[in-house]
Chains A and B, each alone.
Chain A
Amino acid sequence: MQKASIIVKDVTKKYGNSTALNGLSLEVEHAEIFGLIGPDGAGKTSLFRILTSLLVPDSGMASLEGFDVVKDYREIRKIVGYMPGRFSLYFDLTVQENLEFFATIFGTSIQQNYDLIKDIYSQIEPFKNRKAGKLSGGMKQKLALSCAMIHKPQVLILDEPTTGVDAVSRKEFWEMLKALKKEGITILVSTPYMDEAILCDRVALIQKGRILSIEEPQKIIVQYAHDLYSICTDNMFDLLEDLRNFSKSNSAFRFGDTIHLSVKSGFEKAELVHYLEGKNHEQIEIGKIDPEIEDCFMELMTDENKI
């Protein structure tokens, strides 16, 4: 069997007293879109920097396409495309100059790999003589991705590429990632947006430097252990607090214009209606719903926090 594209085994990384990665292991298959989800400070960026050979782990090993990230860092740097958390573009260079620069330092040219980036780049090509600093967030992100892609990397590592980018641009961005996957490129991406997690082939939830779970997004939803209800009333402000104080309540979170209530066993809808009426709520609407990926992650994260 062919070895996985990205292998991370028992990687630990400490900065002074704080542990960024705590014996983390994972494997990413070839041409897989692998999502890494977790709060700020969970260790995502440290992991990415180790995989791109920018940091050396304290212990454990990691490899990309069979190359060790410490020993073979020269090889790693040839096959990896990396988009750091901040758009690392030269703001005083134009769109085209940026792309040309990144092409030449990777020993290639725009023409050579134009097909690969065509879909993305064609959207910003009309502005190719504009300075990168003058682009909007969505366009900067497309340019940064084009720059990270221009040398046709085998592995693409994207650190929160969609943070601060509007919903439309995010949607287009993920369509591009899917197209790149078809080219056989392995993609490791972190995101704070749960609706993007569902678009990955597999996602890992990472917290405090450890992996809580690695699953296909659909499976995570199926594994959700509790019954879930969507509730709204005329007084949404008090509703959250009232639901959290309800005896059969497991957790209650705001979700758009409703509140998602996960309940303990033995829950009766009538009991809740009665309880809420007692708290002076009117126009009570309660409906059983299927969990979304965000429900699942919050569940996993709160479970972890309780330990």
Chain B
Amino acid sequence: MKTKFNNSIIKVEDLVKKFGNFTANDHLTFEVKEGEIFGFLGANGAGKTTAIKILCGLSVPTSGKVEVAGYDVYRQTNQIKRNIGYMSQKFSLYENLTIKENIRFFAGIYGMSRKDIRIRLEELLDRLKIENLKNELIASLPLGWKQKLAFSVAIFHKPKIVFLDEPTGGVDPITRRQFWDMIYEAANNGITVFVTTHYMDEAEYCNRVSIMVDGRIEALDRPQELKKTYHVDSMNEVFLKLARVKN
């Protein structure tokens, strides 16, 4: 990779989040660099979703310092929300609106001007070669297309960071790769990508990955380095090694 990642766009220091007696995030410390694809891995229930909610300004940490796009998650959640995009497997687009209506709606939420929306909408339809589908209801599209569109919508307002929560769950291998082509393109355009996945081959596509186990980050490095450290050939084995210890 030629690109250098210098500036930290997400800074997390000693982040703790507790629910009653249960510690979901146990002193997390990490940084995500501007323009990087950051893989945020962990078993179900390891605390990933909790951390993402905090980073998106939806939840307040119990303690610790968290800065996203230069804004503080305690006080400046509105600014944070304006500078990020979010997409998850569970919520993507409104099924009973058309492609065009969805894009207009979400772009409108972020306060984009009508002119900007029109120009970028045409760009997008052209790039995805779906000009003829723009008035189709989302419900009529295959899952793979929904996910690709949801991603396009999440970065439509050109956020600094986009959070992707299991974006490729249940998607076939070809569509998954097309999806990752889009992620690469976004990263190439300077958008920082923060992504969770259960597909370990996708972990290899990331610039750096962290692996969370029981609320703590057990490992954080480039995939090549992690494989070297744990003397294995694939991220799958790294993951199994780390997560298995606790089980």
A binds B: yes
Q: Which residues of A contact B (CB under 8 A)?
A: 38-41, 136-139, 160, 163-171, 192-195, 234-237, 240, 253-257, 294, 297-298, 301-302
A–B complex contacts, Cβ < 8 Å, 11 sampled: A39-B171, A40-B144, A138-B43, A138-B45, A164-B166, A192-B170, A193-B199, A234-B2, A253-B177, A256-B205, A257-B205
Cα separation A193 to B176 with both chains bound (whole Å): 11
Task: Decide: A40 and B174 in contact? CB cutoff 8 A.
Answer: no
Number of interface residues of B (CB under 8 A): 40
Q: Is the CB of B174 within 8 A of A298?
A: yes
A160 to B172, CA, bound (A): 12
| Chain B residues within CB distance 8 Å of chain A | 1-2, 42-46, 89, 142-144, 166, 169-175, 177, 180-181, 184, 188, 198-201, 204-205, 223-224, 234-236, 239-240, 243-244, 247
What is the bound-complex CA distance between A253 and B42, given in angstroms? 25
B172 contact from A40, A136, A138, A168, Cβ within 8 A: A40
Instruction: Return chain A residues, CB-CB under 8 Å to B43.
Output: 136, 138, 166-169
Question: Measured between C-beta atoms, what is the minimum distance from B74 to chain A in Å?
Answer: 28
Which residues of the other chain, A, contact B89 by a CB distance below 8 angstroms? 164
- Known A-B contacts A256-B235, A298-B173; the reply to A168 vs B247 at CB < 8 A is yes
Residues of A with C-beta under 8 A to B46: 166
- The interface residues of chain B lying within 8 Å CB-to-CB of A193 are 199
| Chain A contacts for B224, CB-based, 8 A | 257
Q: Which B residues touch A38, using CB under 8 A? A: 172
> CB-CB < 8 A to A294: which residues of B?
173
**Contact between B243 and A301 (Cβ–Cβ < 8 Å)?**
no
Given contact pairs A40-B144, A40-B170, A168 touches B180 in the complex (Cβ within 8 A):
no
A192-B172, A256-B201 are known contacts. Are A41 and B239 too (CB-CB below 8 A)? no
CA distance A165 to B239 in the complex (A): 13
A41 to B201, CA, bound (A): 23
